[in-house]
Copies of this chain bind each other. A is one copy, B any other.
Amino acid sequence: MRYLLASRNAKKLAELRRLAEGRFEVVGLDDLPPYEEAPETGLTFADNALLKAREGVRFTGIPTIADDSGIAVDALNGMPGVFSARWSGRHGDDEANNRLLLAQVGDVPDEHLGAAFVCAVALVRPDGSEEVVHGEMRGRLIRTPRGDGGFGYDPLFVPEGETRTSAELSPAEKDAISHRGKAFRALIQKLG
């Protein structure tokens, strides 16, 4: 069985491939002829994941998995949330996004730096059937980035029970506890 992961993020694709190994094949958007991708206009992770997965099926006919994820900071009422990747206004500019988030919480006392990474994963099949699963990883923000692994806000986030940031975990350690790992596993389990 072959699924499309509607993403151009090589690290996300590698993450799903590791989890799906021996079960199914995963191709990414860069493995297929390009189609015009609509902007992510949803206001929830699930909305955006479904939007991208439906689009993938429509253009490719391949059952499509899509995720939307981000960091929900308690002191910011759960924001950046669905805006995580474009928080600074420049989509995918991790450094600018991290810098902005740190500046915004600059005066927030340490005890209010709780946060969670949240992920919604949608699967849409050519027959129109749809599934959505969620995963969450609780933790807290730190004020100085640490680590070279991961992407996005990983260098600013220490998961509960850890002293290292998400960016200091090995890929396998991260898969085991991450929001996306949890959501991907929940989906794979549903697929049997």
Task: Judge whether A99 is part of the interface by a CB distance below 8 angstroms.
Answer: yes
Task: Judge whether A14 is part of the interface by a CB distance below 8 angstroms.
Answer: no
The contact size tier of chain A is: 20 to 34
A43 to chain B: which residues have CB within 8 Å? 75, 108, 112
CA distance A5 to B96 in the complex (A): 36
Determine chain A's interface SS by DSSP, over half rule.
Answer: loop
Question: Pick the contact of A89 from B104, B109, B112 — CB < 8 Å?
Answer: B104
A83 to chain B: which residues have CB within 8 Å? 76, 104
The reply to whether A100 and B89 form a contact with Cβ atoms under 8 Å apart is: yes
A88 to chain B: which residues have CB within 8 Å? 100, 103
A100 to chain B: which residues have CB within 8 Å? 88-89, 100
CA distance A97 to B86 in the complex (A): 15
Q: Which of A81-109 contact B (CB under 8 A)?
A: 81, 83, 86-90, 99-100, 102-104, 106-109
CA distance A103 to B90 in the complex (A): 8
14 further A-B pairs in the complex, CB-CB below 8 A; given A41-B107, A86-B103, A89-B99: A39-B107, A43-B112, A76-B77, A77-B77, A77-B78, A77-B79, A79-B79, A83-B104, A87-B104, A88-B100, A88-B103, A89-B100, A89-B102, A90-B103
